Amino acid sequence: MAIVNLQNVTYRYPLTDESVLKNINLQVDEGEFLAVIGPNGSGKSTLCYTLAGFVPHFFKGEISGSVEVAGLESSASTLDEWVMNVGLAFQNPFNQISGAKFTVFEEIAFGLENIGVPREEMKPRVEDAMKLTGITDLADRSPYSLSGGQQQRVALTSILVMQPKVLVLDEPTSQLDPIGTREVFGVIRTLAEKGMTVILAEHKVEWIANFADRVIALHEGQIILDGLPGEVLTSDILLEKGFGISRYTSVARKARAIGLWKNSNLPVTLDEAVDGFKR
Amino acid sequence: MQERLSFYKKRESAVHRLNPLSKLTLALGIVFVSFLSPYYWTPHLLILFAVIPLSLLGKVLREYINAMLRLILPTAGFLFIMQALFQPLEGVELFRFGFLHPTQESVLFAFANATRIVVMVSSFTIFLLTTHPNELMTDLTRRGLPGQFAYVIISTLQIIPQMQAKAQTIIAAQRSRGLDTESTFFKRAGSLIPLVGPLVFGSLVEVEERAIAIEARGFTSTRVKTSLNSIPDTNKDKLIRWSLIVIIIVTLASRIWLS
Ligand SMILES: Nc1ncnc2c1ncn2[C@@H]1O[C@H](COP(=O)(O)OP(=O)(O)OP(=O)(O)O)[C@@H](O)[C@H]1O
Ligand SMILES: [Mg+2]
C-alpha cells in the first residue's frame, strides 16, 4: 500500500521564475526505506519539505499536481494535521533544538505539550522514544551541552515521540563527524527495522547502499533514476550528471576499463569491492 | 560548555515549592513597599525581616551574599556617591570642595535611594535564584500569557550564550585568516566588519530553520497545550498573593494620606 503518492508535482518558490520540482511522480510503500540522492540545488530539501507539508503550507509559492501522504491531501489539509502525521528532521542539529527547554527530557516533551497530549501519557511516551534512540542517559542534560550526534538523536527523538506515520530526513548527518554519523544511522536503521516508512535525502552513498530499499536520483528538480540501490548508485548516468559517487565504484570502474574487474555489477561499499576483487 | 543565562539554583526548599507567580508577587511586593513607604527605615527592615529570611528559607543565602558583594553593593555604593555629591539639595552644608557641596539632606536622600535599590535588586535576585524560568513561563502561559511571548523570553535566555560561542568561533576563524582583533580600539572596530556578515546572514537562515523545526513539533498547533510538569498552586499560594496585594494597597494608601 502506497503511503506516499505524488502525481505530476511541480513547485515554484515565491518570487522566483523557475520550478524547483518538475513533474515529480513518486509512490512509496508503507514500511519502505527510500533514499533520495542529488547534487547541490537539485531539489532534495524541497522534496522533503513537500512530503512534510511545509511546501506549500509554510513556504507558500505555487504548486500543481497532487500530493498525498499518510492519508492527507496537501490541498485539503493544514500544516497542523501534517505535523501530526509526518515527521521532519534536517541537517543542522543545533537549529532543531527548540531553545524553549533546559533538559533533554523536556525538549523531547515539547512537541507533546504543543499538541496537547495529557500529562500522564507524556512521560511514558518520552521514555519509550528515548529508549528507542538510545539516549535515555541524556535525559537530564542540557540539550546545548551535547555533541552534534547526540543533539541530532535528540532532534530525531523529539520527532519520533509524536508518532509520525512517515519520517522524512533531510541530510541528517551532513554536519556530523564520523562518530555522530554512525550514531544517527544506527537510529535510522532501528526505525526502519521496526517498519517505519523512512524517506532520507543523503549523499553518503555507502550508507545508503547498506540501508535503503530503493533510491531515487534527483537532477534539476526531476527524478532521473528510480530503482534498487545497487543499480542506481552505480549507474553511469550519475557520473555524467555530476553526482557524488562512492570511491569504490570509481575504483572498480577504472579497474573494469583495464580488465581487472570482471563482475557485471559495480560495487558501492568496501565489502562489495573486496568481494568483487577476490573473484 | 557555555553557561546558561539563568541564575536558578536547584534546591529543595519551601520557597522553591511556591508557585512562580506567588514568588513574583512577593518580589514585586517587597519592591513596591520599599519605594512607596515614606519612612527611611523601611528598606532596612525589609532587608532584615524579608529578604534575608527568604534567602535562608530558600537555601540560597550564600549565592545571595555573593551577588550582594559583587554586584548589588558596588552598584548601590556608586549610585549613593553620585547622588550625594551631584544632587545638591537645600540644607546644612557638610563640606565644600571645588564645585561640590553636599548637604546633609542630599546625603540622606541618596542613602535612602541606595537602600531602595539594594532592596529591589535583592528581592529579584532571590526570585531568580529560586524560580526556574521555564516554570515561571509555563505558569504564566497557563494563566493566559501568549505562548509565543514566553518562547521568545526563554529561547533568548538560552540562545544568547550560543550566539556568543558562535561569534567566538567566527572570530577565531577570521583571526586565523589574519584578522586583527588585538590592536587599538579603532583598528579593531574596523576589523569587526567581516564578522558581521556571517553572524547576521547565518542567523537569518537559522531563524527560518528554527521556525520550521518548532513548527514540525506543533508549536502553532491550535490544540490546547498541556505541560510536562505540574506547577504547584496551593491555597497557601493564593493566601500569599492576596496578602501581598492588600499590603501593597495599604502602603499606597498610607503614602497618599500621610504625605
Ligand atoms: N526558500 C527558497 N526560496 C527560493 N528558492 C529556494 C528556496 N530554497 C531553495 N531554493 C532554490 O531551490 C533549488 C533547490 O534547492 P534545495 O534546497 O531543494 O536543493 P538541495 O538538493 O536540498 O541542495 P543541497 O544539497 O544544497 O541541500 C535551489 O536552486 C535553491 O536555490
Ligand atoms: Mg538540501
| Ligand 1 near A45 CB (within 6 A) | yes
What does the block give as the cell for A74? 496537501
Q: What percent of chain B stands above pLDDT 70?
A: 91
Residues A250-255 have a mean pLDDT of 92
Residues of A in contact with B228 (CB under 8 A): 105-106, 109, 112-113, 119, 122-123
pLDDT at B191 over 90: no
The position carrying cell 532592596 is B119
Torsion angle defined by CA atoms of residues B27, B83, B93 and B119, in that order, rounded to the nearest 10 degrees: 10
Gap from CA of A200 to ligand 2 centroid (Å): 11
Question: How far is it, in rounded angstroms, from Cα A267 to Cα A250?
Answer: 9
Are residues B216 and A145, on separate chains, in Cβ contact within 8 Å?
Answer: no
Q: What confidence score (pLDDT) does residue B3 get? A: 46
Element (H, E) at B211: helix B193-215
pLDDT of residue A206: 92
Which residue would you say has higher pLDDT here, B56 or B38?
Answer: B56
Whether a cis peptide bond, with omega within 30° of 0, leads into A56 is yes
pLDDT tens-digit series, residues A206-228: 999 999 999 999 999 999 999 99
Cβ of A43 less than 6 Å from ligand 1: yes
Which residues face A218 on adjacent strands? A223
Residue numbers in A near B140 (CB within 8 A): none
Long-range contacts of A120-124 (CB under 8 A, 24+ apart): A122/B226, A122/B228, A123/B228
Residue A17 confidence (pLDDT) above 90: yes
Q: Averaged over A234-246, what is the pLDDT?
A: 92
pLDDT digits (tens, 9 = 90+) for A96-134: 998 888 899 999 999 999 999 999 999 999 999 999 999
Q: Beta strand pairing status for A21-29 and A2-12?
A: antiparallel
Quick one: which of B194, B103, B211 has its CA closest to B151? B211
Q: Which residues of A touch B212 (CB under 8 A)?
A: 49, 54, 58, 88, 90
Cβ neighbors of B225 (< 8 A, separation 6 or more) are A113, A114, A116, B141, B147
- What distance in Å separates residue B151's CA from the closest CA in chain A? 6
Among B143, B144, B160, which Cα is nearest to B152's? B160
Among residues of chain A, what percentage have pLDDT more than 90?
Answer: 88
Q: What percent of chain B has pLDDT over 90?
A: 39
Lowest mean pLDDT, pick from A157-161, B173-177, B232-236: B173-177
Residue among A96, A105, A114 minimizing CB distance to B225: A114
Average pLDDT, chain B: 85
**Closest by Cβ to A101, choosing from B134, B161, B210:** B134
**How far is the C-alpha of A172 from the C-alpha of A149, rounded, in Å?**
10
Q: What is the pLDDT of residues B7-33, one digit of tens each?
A: 888 899 999 999 999 999 999 999 999
Structure confidence at residue B2 (pLDDT): 39
Across the range A156-176, mean pLDDT stands at: 95
- Residue B82: which of B98, B100, B56 has the closest Cα? B100
Asked whether residue B182 carries a pLDDT value surpassing 80, the answer given is no
pLDDT of A31 above 80: yes
* A95·B209 Cβ contact <8 A: yes
Asked whether the beta carbons of residue B221 and residue A112 sit closer than 8 angstroms, the reply is no
Query: Are the C-beta atoms of residues B217 and A95 closer than 8 Å to each other?
Result: no
Any ligand 1 atom below 6 A from CB of A50: no
In this structure, the residue with its CA closest to atom 12 of ligand 1 is A20
Q: Is the CB of A180 under 6 A from ligand 1?
A: no
Domain boundaries, chain A: 2-229
pLDDT tens, residue by residue, A59-76 = 999 999 999 999 999 888
Collapse the DSSP code of B116 into the 3-class scheme (helix H, G, I; strand E, B; otherwise coil) and give the result: helix
Task: Provide the angle, in degrees to the nearest 10, between the axes of the packed helices A178-193 and A148-160.
Answer: 20
User: Would you say A110 and A100 are in contact if contact means Cβ atoms under 8 Å apart?
Assistant: yes
Query: Does A20 contact ligand 1 (Cβ within 6 A)?
Result: yes
C-alpha A220 – ligand 1 centre gap (Å): 10
A101-110, A241-250, B140-149, B160-169: range with lowest mean pLDDT: B160-169
User: Residue A7: in which H helix or E strand, if any?
Assistant: strand A2-12
A217 min Cα distance to partner chain B (Å): 25
Q: Does A22 sit in the ligand 1 pocket, CB within 6 Å?
A: no
Label residue B216 exposed, middle or buried (CB < 10 Å: 0-12, 13-18, 19+).
Answer: buried
Higher pLDDT, A42 or B135: A42
**Strands A33-37 and A197-201, bridge-based pairing:** parallel
Q: Does position B4 have pLDDT exceeding 80, yes or no?
A: no
Q: Cβ distance B93 to B101 under 8 Å?
A: yes
Contacts of B222 (CB under 8 A, 6+ apart): A80
- At A6 the pLDDT is 97
Q: What is the ipTM of this complex?
A: 0.89
CB pair distance less than 8 Å for A122 and B162: no
Going by the DSSP 8-state scheme, the letter that residue B5 receives in this structure is: S
Of the listed ligands, the closest to the CA of A49 is: 1
What is the least distance, in Å, from the CA of B152 to any CA of chain A?
8
Alpha carbon of residue B167 to chain centroid: 25
Residue bearing the CA closest to ligand 1, atom 28? A41
Residue A194's pLDDT is 92
**Residues on chain A touching B2 (C-beta within 8 angstroms):** 144
Ligand number with the minimum distance to the CA of A220? 1
Q: How confident is the model at residue B40 (pLDDT cuts 50, 70, 90)?
A: confident
Which residue puts its alpha carbon closest to atom 2 of ligand 1? A13
For ligand 1, is residue A41 a contact (CB within 6 Å)?
yes
Q: Long-range contacts: B84-90, Cβ < 8 Å, 24+? A: B84/B110, B84/B111
Name the class of domain A2-229: alpha beta
pLDDT band at B254 (very low <50, low <70, confident <90, very high): confident
Q: Which residue from A6, A31, A3 is spatially nearest to A197, judged by alpha carbons?
A: A31
pLDDT band with cut points at 50, 70 and 90 for residue A167: very high
Compare all CA atoms of chain A with the CA of B156 and give the residue at the minimum distance. A99
- Answer whether B220 sits within 8 Å of A112, measured CB to CB: no
Q: Is the Cβ atom of A13 under 6 angstroms away from ligand 1?
A: yes
Distance in Å, CA A13 to ligand 1 centroid: 9
CB of B107 closer than 8 Å to CB of B84: yes
The overall average pLDDT reported for chain A is: 94
- As separate numbers, helices (DSSP H) first and strands (DSSP E) second, chain A gives 13, 10
